[in-house]
């Protein structure tokens, strides 16, 4: 009998991109997707990859899996390293984070999973961990950083900090960094994230969950490298300027307060440190293989210019 994979967020960026590769690699899988409306359903030819901030939804999924005939199913939840950004924010006002610690998902697992519900994505992460333990449902939390690259899903193909940065620069007419832009942020290509999620899905369908770890130890960072905003912003700006979308390649240093007027989540997007190491996935054989963030910066900029000129923001 073909295995069944239920995917929430299938119309989203991560979910749609991942499923596009999953059906290519495993045409025998029966994939069921959850969408928001009939229009999205028509676009789909057809894991929990929807909101990382909906604890009641995650809890309901785990409760349903616990009642599965023949034993509980496995839940793979997609979170995000926004929790690390919040750890880096100082208690007072100002754009410069004090904490640039690198968190390893093996050696720092206890600290990572005990952060609690007060941080970004924390309520959902806690719900997954606690409900999974209570109902004895194997769970895994995949925590990607900045996700870049154009998605191949049928609905949403754009997402993340770099497109939002390009949009903000084009609307403002001039580039900017929050303070000096020295903060670090990890990145991963959407295709490499998809490969990680498929790897865990394959293990979940093996006896005893394969070689993957589940439950309290099943927390997976997913990084391929890191950048600083005072390197990423100039790279984006130079391309926008060269293509005639900006009249200047100069970059302003602005305060966090000013940045929040550009985007309310400016600190989380472009102002804090989020440094993680995906040792747990690498131990399973995962390796990032897609183009680097620098190699696709032009593609991202082109898409933002087109959206800006067509008024699609």
Could you tell me the pLDDT band of residue 12, with boundaries at 50, 70 and 90? confident
Tell me whether strands 225-228 and 30-34 are parallel, antiparallel or unpaired. unpaired
Of 313 and 271, the one with more pLDDT: 271
Tell me whether strands 219-221 and 175-178 are parallel, antiparallel or unpaired. unpaired
Segment 166-187 shows an average pLDDT of 95
**Three-state DSSP class for residue 244:** coil
DSSP labels for 32-98?
A: EEE-SSHHHHHH----B-S-TT-HHHHHHHHHHHHT-TTS---EEEE--THHHHHHHS-SSSSS--S
Across-strand partners of 211? none
User: What's the pLDDT score for residue 156?
Assistant: 79
Token pair of 237, please?
């700006």
User: What's the pLDDT score for residue 41?
Assistant: 47
**Over the stretch 86-116, which tens digit does the pLDDT of each residue have?**
655 543 444 455 567 899 999 999 988 887 7
User: What's the pLDDT score for residue 53?
Assistant: 56
Token pair 């131990």 in the structure block, residue: 283
Contacts with 159 (C-beta within 8 Å, 6 or more apart), sequence order? 12, 13, 14, 147, 151, 190
Question: What DSSP designation does 101 have?
Answer: P
**Three-state DSSP class for residue 131:** helix
Flag whether pLDDT at 122 surpasses 60: yes
Flag whether pLDDT at 153 surpasses 50: yes
Q: State the chain's mean pLDDT as an integer.
A: 87
**Over the stretch 58-70, which tens digit does the pLDDT of each residue have?**
888 888 888 887 7
CA angle 154, 156, 158 (to 5 degrees): 130
Of 233 and 61, the one with more pLDDT: 233
User: What's the pLDDT score for residue 46?
Assistant: 47
**Over the stretch 132-147, which tens digit does the pLDDT of each residue have?**
999 999 999 999 999 9
Domain coordinates of the chain in residue numbers? 4-305
User: What's the pLDDT score for residue 61?
Assistant: 81
**Over the stretch 32-42, which tens digit does the pLDDT of each residue have?**
887 666 554 44
Segment 196-225 shows an average pLDDT of 96
Of 41 and 27, the one with more pLDDT: 27
Segment 163-174 shows an average pLDDT of 97
Exposed, middle or buried by CB within 10 Å (0-12, 13-18, 19+), for 244?
exposed
Token pair of 215, please?
């439950």
User: What's the pLDDT score for residue 312?
Assistant: 82
Contacts 24+ apart (CB under 8 A), 105-114: 105/143, 105/219, 105/220, 105/221, 105/276, 105/277, 105/278, 105/279, 105/280, 105/281, 106/279, 106/280, 106/283, 107/279, 109/216, 109/217, 109/219, 112/83, 112/219, 113/216, 113/219
User: What's the pLDDT score for residue 92?
Assistant: 40
User: What's the pLDDT score for residue 44?
Assistant: 42
User: What's the pLDDT score for residue 177?
Assistant: 95
Of 221 and 126, the one with more pLDDT: 221
User: What's the pLDDT score for residue 245?
Assistant: 97
Q: What is the CATH number of domain 4-305?
A: 3.40.50.720
């Amino acid at each position: 009998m073909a295995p069944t994979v239920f995917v929430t967020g299938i119309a989203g960026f991560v979910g749609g991109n991942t499923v596009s590769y999953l059906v290519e690699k495993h045409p025998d899988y029966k994939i069921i997707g959850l969408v928001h409306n009939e229009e999205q359903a028509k676009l789909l030819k057809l894991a929990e990859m929807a909101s990382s901030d909906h604890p009641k939804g995650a809890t309901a999924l785990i409760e349903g899996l616990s009642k599965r005939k023949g034993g509980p199913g496995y839940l793979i939840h997609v979170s995000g390293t926004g929790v690390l950004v919040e750890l880096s924010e100082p208690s007072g006002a100002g754009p410069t984070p004090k904490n640039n610690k690198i968190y390893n998902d093996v050696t720092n697992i206890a600290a990572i999973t005990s952060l609690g519900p007060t941080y970004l994505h924390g309520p959902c992460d806690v719900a997954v961990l606690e409900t999974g333990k209570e109902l004895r449902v194997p769970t895994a939390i995949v925590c990607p950083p900045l996700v870049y690259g154009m998605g191949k899903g049928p609905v949403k193909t754009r997402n993340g900090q770099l497109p939002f940065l390009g949009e903000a620069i084009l609307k403002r007419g001039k580039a900017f960094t929050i303070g000096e832009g020295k903060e670090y942020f990890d990145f991963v290509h959407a295709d490499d994230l998809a490969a990680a999620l498929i790897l865990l899905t394959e293990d979940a369908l093996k006896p005893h969950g394969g070689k993957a770890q589940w439950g309290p130890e099943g927390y997976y960072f997913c990084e391929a490298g890191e950048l600083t905003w005072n390197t990423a912003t100039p790279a984006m700006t130079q391309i926008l300027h060269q293509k005639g979308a900006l009249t200047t390649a100069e970059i302003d240093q602005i305060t966090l307060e000013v940045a929040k007027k550009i985007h309310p989540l400016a600190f989380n997007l472009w102002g804090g440190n989020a440094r993680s190491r995906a040792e747990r996935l690498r131990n399973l054989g995962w390796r990032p293989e897609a183009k680097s963030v620098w190699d696709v910066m032009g593609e991202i900029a082109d898409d933002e210019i087109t959206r800006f000129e067509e008024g699609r923001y």
